[in-house]
Amino acid sequence: MPVKLYDTFSRSNQALSIPKDRPFYFYCCGPTVYGPAHIGNFRTFLVQDVLRRVLEIDGTDVVHVRNITDVDDKTILRSQEQNQSLAEFTEQWIERFHKDCKSLNLLSPTAEPKALDHIDEQIQLIEKLVEKDNAYQGKDGSVYFRVQSCEAYGKLNRIKQDELKTQSSNSAGQANLADEYDRESISDFALWKARKPEDGNNFWKSPWGEGRPGWHLECSAMVHSSFNGATIDLHGGGIDLCFPHHENEIAQSESAYEKPFCTHWFHSAHLKVEGEKMSKSLGNLYTLEDLEAKNYNLMAVRYTLIASSYRQPLNFTFDSLHASESALNKIERFAEALLEKLEQPVDTDSFNHNYVKTHAIKDHGLLQNAWESLCNNLNTAACLGSLFGVIGSNSISKMDSAEAEELLESLGTILYALGINLFTATAKDSNIPKAILELAEARWDAKQNKDYAKADALRKELLSAGWEIKDSSADYEIHPID
């Protein structure tokens, strides 16, 4: 089934063209590693991850490259503040990023090139651009891309060059004026940034003197080297990268190599938190660590971040996290019921291993609609809607073992596409004070002895101490009240 995706370039839904003679080339702009990634960053990476999974289930061999930007103003500045070498500094955040990716169940990219490992290619690219007169060295020693030399500049964002220049006159453009004198045109952007004192030891040699690569250039060079100079099939990133970053990538690559840079463009919308734009000052730049500290299941975080349209801004709220937890729970009950239908019942612990994977199935059975929704521009909301429709239809009550097995495979495939593992919520390991444990134990004893008055009194006492008791038939649990 063809996978359709909204293509930013053509501004329309397009069936992705899958090459027949080679894998599908998918490049994503990855993180700049100057600190922990926040959930907004992860939204983009998660959406890309789901797309990749859908393609793979569909039988497409995907080469997924996601770079790491390990040199820029922020990484340099922060490393110096920490008295660390740039490499030392970025290494810790790369590790942290990998850890976070793992806990969100993101598949590892096929390759993860780092900008600093590709300085040579970047210099070669600049040389090419200088040679072809697409670039020049400015008065400050930096090398700039001559936007005027690229007729097609602006085609991704549908911006006209003459409009770009006039932008300096409006409020948004004011900041641009600062270093206008260094370059020919306000819209020219840096390919190579000349060394400055504040860069410390962080500079590299180039034909234009010491300095460091510009951000836009890094991606062009890494795309080129990662895919051996081929035109790539899909390029992804947050919507904010659409301009100027991706526009600049196109300009650099197409000017230098004289062939189309990329066929489809894939941008995901941003995240708000509790209705507000994420920002440090508002204290709402949540990291996974923050959410874990609040005892949220990271699978619910994943669910929240992928459950609605990736093209729409998403308002991340704690309400939505709770809703996701409940929804996940509902899916778990459904899976559990299916597992019980099997002739040789499988316990929930092995569910993910046995079923959440790429089954080689053509027919998704009851979940065919759910699957088709995913293929239709990654419509995860409709997919989940179909899934819950099946869950609510009570269709499993009459199922035999074989039918349950089949549905489990379909379910597992859909969950794999979404990257959702079930039954991952770990018992919240609160440190329960001894006194509370004793009270709870006393209450349980009273209940067993049918001394309900005493049991209820103890429950109340526990409640006022901030602890809640939940009974099952054979046991009880103690939870702190939020």
Residue 172, interface with RNA (CB under 7 A)? yes
Least separation in angstroms between residue 48's CB and RNA is 9
- Is 235 in a helix, a strand, or coil? strand
Residue 220, interface with RNA (CB under 7 A)? no
CB distance 270 to 60 below 8 Å: no
CA distance 370 to 185: 51
CA angle 256, 262, 267 (to 5 degrees): 125
Residue 240, interface with RNA (CB under 7 A)? yes
* Distance, C-alpha 110 to centroid of its chain: 15
Residue 241, interface with RNA (CB under 7 A)? yes
CA distance 95 to 119: 22
Strand order of the β-sheet with 276-277 is: 276-277, 271-273, 314-316
Which lies closer to RNA via its Cβ, residue 16 or residue 147? Answer: 147
Residue 459, interface with RNA (CB under 7 A)? yes
Candidate ranges 93-101, 121-129, 257-265, 311-319; the one touching RNA (CB under 7 A): 311-319
Q: Between residue 463 and residue 482, which ones bind RNA under the rule CB under 7 A?
A: 469-472
Residues 6 or more apart in contact with residue 300 via CB below 8 angstroms: 321, 324, 325, 328
Q: Between residue 378 and residue 437, which ones bind RNA under the rule CB under 7 A?
A: 379, 381-382, 384-386, 388-389, 391-392, 394
CA distance 404 to 340: 9
Which lies closer to RNA via its Cβ, residue 73 or residue 140? Answer: 73
Task: Select from 36, 211, 213, 237 the one that contacts RNA (CB under 7 A).
Answer: 237
Candidate ranges 17-25, 82-90, 156-164, 201-209; the one touching RNA (CB under 7 A): 156-164
Cα four-point dihedral sign 469, 472, 473, 478:
negative
Task: Select from 88, 163, 347, 438 the one that contacts RNA (CB under 7 A).
Answer: 163
271 has which bridge partners? 314
Least separation in angstroms between residue 218's CB and RNA is 9
Residue 74, interface with RNA (CB under 7 A)? yes
Candidate ranges 15-23, 56-64, 86-94, 372-380; the one touching RNA (CB under 7 A): 372-380
Least separation in angstroms between residue 136's CB and RNA is 18
Residue 320, interface with RNA (CB under 7 A)? yes
Nearest CA-CA partner of 407 in 348, 457, 467, 336 = 336
Q: Between residue 104 and residue 143, which ones bind RNA under the rule CB under 7 A?
A: none
Least separation in angstroms between residue 155's CB and RNA is 11
CA distance 451 to 457: 10
Residue 352, interface with RNA (CB under 7 A)? no
Residue 209, interface with RNA (CB under 7 A)? no
Residue 213, interface with RNA (CB under 7 A)? no
Least separation in angstroms between residue 405's CB and RNA is 21
Nearest CA-CA partner of 349 in 298, 411, 425 = 425
Which lies closer to RNA via its Cβ, residue 259 or residue 437? Answer: 437
Residue 460, interface with RNA (CB under 7 A)? no
401-418 helix and 368-375 helix, angle to the nearest 10 degrees: 20
User: How many residues interact with RNA (rule CB under 7 A)?
Assistant: 82
Residue 147, interface with RNA (CB under 7 A)? no
247-257 helix and 215-226 helix, angle to the nearest 10 degrees: 50
In Å, how far are 430, 440, 447, 464, 466 from 435, measured between CA atoms?
14, 9, 18, 13, 12
Task: Select from 278, 299, 339, 422 the one that contacts RNA (CB under 7 A).
Answer: 278
CA distance 250 to 261: 6
Residue with structure tokens 């290494």?
91
* Distance, C-alpha 79 to centroid of its chain: 25
Candidate ranges 51-59, 107-115, 160-168, 200-208; the one touching RNA (CB under 7 A): 160-168
Residue 98, interface with RNA (CB under 7 A)? no
A 10 A CB-CB count for 398 gives 7
Least separation in angstroms between residue 160's CB and RNA is 7
Residues 24-63 as x/- pattern, contact with RNA by CB under 7 A: -----xxxx-------xx-xx-------------------
Least separation in angstroms between residue 20's CB and RNA is 29
Task: Select from 21, 175, 431, 482 the one that contacts RNA (CB under 7 A).
Answer: 175
